[in-house]
Structure 1
Amino acid sequence: MRNVFRRRRREQPEQVAEQEPAAPTRESGPWDADEPHPETDRIDLGGLRLPHNPDFDVRLASVGDQHVGVVVLYEESSLQLQALAAPRSSGLWDEVKTKIVSQAKHLEEREGPFGGELTGEMKVDGQPRPARYLGIDGPRWFLLAVISGKAAADEKVAAAFIDFIKDVVVVRGNEPMAREEPIPLRRPNDETGETPTEGPGFNPFKRGPEISEIR
């Protein structure tokens, strides 16, 4: 599949010669934009910067005029990503996990690459589909990742998605945001980044939102 986004230019190349960036303090992300992280080519979507993988078909998920998440397609599988604003004092994953369990049956909790995760099935157009729910709490943000399809049951296929998630950069920004409010996303060529801040959330349990393909 062809990646429908162009690569983001290497971040701040003119400053590399003047000052070496600080080395990351962790082996992998997801990264916060304000912490030291590897300077690689990424797709700039405003609130998320995604690693470039030419095998992935990357799309924005939209509800109306609001971009609420990202869908990545690969090997008969999909990865849904959404970044939400979180309180400074605590994370959201435990709370979100409880909500998911209340809406989706036959889920089990297990340890995964980012800590506790949920595995089981989700309904897509009324049909069961293998699914994994992963949550990562960051500084004032929360990243929800939902892997469905073949990759949810095949660790080899899932590994490509896991590596992708580990190199995502979340750009929370300093503006006040409500708890669980989606961090605004934008098209790569929209430098203004003007995105409505109100609207429905990203719901992995119902038919997916309109997919806006970027070419």
Structure 2
Amino acid sequence: MAFGRRRKNKAGSTESAEESVQSAAGTENGAAGGTDGGPEHGPFDVADRPSEEGYVDLGALRIAATQGLALRLEVEETTKRVVAVTLDLDGSSLQLQAFAAPRSETLWDEIRTQIVKSVSSQGGTADELVGRLGTELLARVPAQAQDGSKGYRVARFVGVDGPRWFLRGVFGGPAAMNPDAATALEEVFRNVVVVRGDAPLPPRDLLQLTLPRDASPLPKRDAETKPEPPQRGPEITTIG
């Protein structure tokens, strides 16, 4: 499992070439909204999976160690706060953020409405569907391809309402559209453990992410190696 860090500039956008459509956060039972959920399916609350064995501890999130999985932490430039984690596996990506949520309310329905409005304002479309992780949104936003032609960038949004937390995932790359390509990252998503903590927090506040104790930077690319072309993917956005 590899680790890396990505920073955000003062304007709130990441300094890598990754960009995306808007995102956001909420529910109550620890299973993806609309699935056949329950503690056996995940994502999990820490009360259901208290052991750290086999997991990378990121504070509010614990990620199951998986062969070939690369983990990038996204750092807000002004505050130096870790605001999201992006997981890369087999050419696809999954961005994760966890938020505080009300004890007796869910957020995912409201958040989907906000995403649709944001995507529409950018000239794109967002289709609601029921997938293997419950009610999802498949968003397409106009973008310019590397050869200058017009196209779309695609992001698949999923949301999970847990006990006093909301977990939002954004799939990018082949996993956004191809069910077969999404299988491995969906399994990673289902094994995520959310650690809400006891501190009182306003709804939609980000839960605190931290660097893992054994994290090390990704190796620097050799100066003579031709850099890979930038890939598009999810970007952090503020909710609420």
State the TM-score, normalized to the length of structure 1: 0.73
1:144-171, Cα deviation, whole Å (9 max, x unpaired): 0000111111111101111001100000
Q: For 2:161 and 2:178, how far apart are their aligned partners in 1?
A: 25
Q: Alpha carbon RMSD of aligned pairs, Å?
A: 2.5
Matched residues in 1 for 2:169 and 2:86: separation? 10
Change in 2 beyond 3 A, CA 1:180/1:54: same
Query: Which residue of the partner structure matches residue 117 of structure 1?
Result: 136
Q: Which residue number in structure 2 is paired with residue 55 of structure 1?
A: 68
Inter-CA distance 30–125: structure 2 relative to 1 (3 Å threshold): farther
For 2:211, give the aligned amino acid: R
Taking the aligned partners of 1:96 and 1:125, their CA distance within structure 2 comes to 27
- Matching residue of 1:145: 169
- Provide structure 1 residue ranges, at least 5 long, that are not aligned to the other structure: 6-24, 191-204, 210-215
CA contact (8 A) 1:45 1:185 kept: yes
Determine if contact 1:3/1:53 at 8 Å carries over to the other structure.
no
**Residue equivalent to 1:208:** 235
Q: 1:181 to 1:206 in 2, by over 3 A?
A: farther
Q: Does 1:75 align with 2:90?
A: yes
Question: CA distance change for structure 1 residues 169 and 36 in 2, over 3 Å: closer, same or farther?
Answer: closer
CA distance in 1, matches of 2:51, 2:183: 20
Matches for 1:1-215 after TM superposition, within 5 Å: 2-4=1-3, 26-36=39-49, 40-64=53-77, 65-104=80-119, 105-122=124-141, 128-189=152-213, 208=235
Q: Give the counterpart letter for 2:235 in structure 1.
A: G
| Aligned equivalents of 1:207, 1:151: Cα separation in 2 | 12
What TM-score do you get using the length of structure 2 for normalisation?
Answer: 0.66
**Residue in structure 1 matched with residue 12 of structure 2 by the alignment:** none
| Matched residues, number | 175
Q: Is the 8 A contact 2:98 2:167 kept in 1?
A: yes
The question of whether the paired residues in 1 share the 8 Å contact of 2:99 and 2:165 is answered with yes
Q: Higher relative contact order by CA 8 Å / sep ≥ 6: 1 or 2?
A: 2
Instruction: State the alpha-carbon separation in 1 of the partners of residues 197 and 50 from structure 2.
Output: 16
